[in-house]
Amino acid sequence: MVPLITRSALGALDAHRFLMRAALAATASFAWVFALEYLYALYGNLPDAFVHVILLYELTQVITILVTPYSARQLSHGVRARMMAGVLVCVLALVIFGAALGGVLNGILGLLFFAIFIGVYRAFYWTPYSLERKYELGGTDIPQEIFLAAMPIIAGYTLLNGYLGAMMLLFAGAVILIASLAPLVRVPEMYERFSWGYGETFGELFEPKYNSFVEPSFVEGLQGAALLLLWPLSVFVIVGLSYKLLGLVLSATLLLAILLRSRGRRFLKDKDFLHATVAATSWILRIAVATPVSAVFVAAYAAPTDTSADFLTLEQTADNGTYIDEYTVLKEIAQGFGRISMCIVATVCISVFSLPVGLGISFALAGAASMVGFLHAKRTEHL
Q: How far is CA 181 from the centre of its chain?
A: 21
Write the pLDDT tens digit of every residue in 235-271: 999 999 999 999 999 998 888 878 877 666 666 666 6
CATH superfamily entry for domain 7-129+138-189+216-381: MFS general substrate transporter like domains (1.20.1250.20)
Counting residues of the chain whose pLDDT is more than 70, the rounded percentage is: 83
Closest CA to 123 of 374, 340, 316: 316
Residues 6+ apart with CB under 8 A from 233: 32, 33, 36, 50, 53
374 against 24, higher pLDDT: 24
CB 358 within 8 A of CB 227: no
Write the pLDDT tens digit of every residue in 304-351: 666 544 544 545 544 444 456 788 899 999 999 999 999 999 999 999
What ranges do the domains of the chain cover? Answer: 7-129+138-189+216-381
Angle, vertex CA 118, rays to CA 40 and CA 170, nearest 5: 65
Write the pLDDT tens digit of every residue in 346-383: 999 999 999 999 999 999 999 999 888 777 666 655 55
pTM (2 d.p.): 0.91
Q: What is the DSSP letter of 304?
A: G
C-alpha 238/C-alpha 291 separation (Å) is 6
C-alpha 142/C-alpha 132 separation (Å) is 15
Coil/strand/helix, residue 126: strand
pLDDT of residue 306: 62
Sign of the Cα torsion 364, 152, 84, 94 reads positive
C-alpha 311/C-alpha 295 separation (Å) is 17
Q: Is 129 exposed, middle or buried (0-12, 13-18, 19+ CB in 10 A)?
A: buried
Amino acid at 107: G
Sign of the Cα torsion 233, 239, 240, 246 reads negative
pLDDT (average), residues 24-53:
95
Q: Is 162 exposed, middle or buried (0-12, 13-18, 19+ CB in 10 A)?
A: exposed
pLDDT of residue 127: 76
C-alpha 374/C-alpha 370 separation (Å) is 6
CB 17 within 8 A of CB 238: no
Distance in Å from the first CA to the final CA of the chain: 29
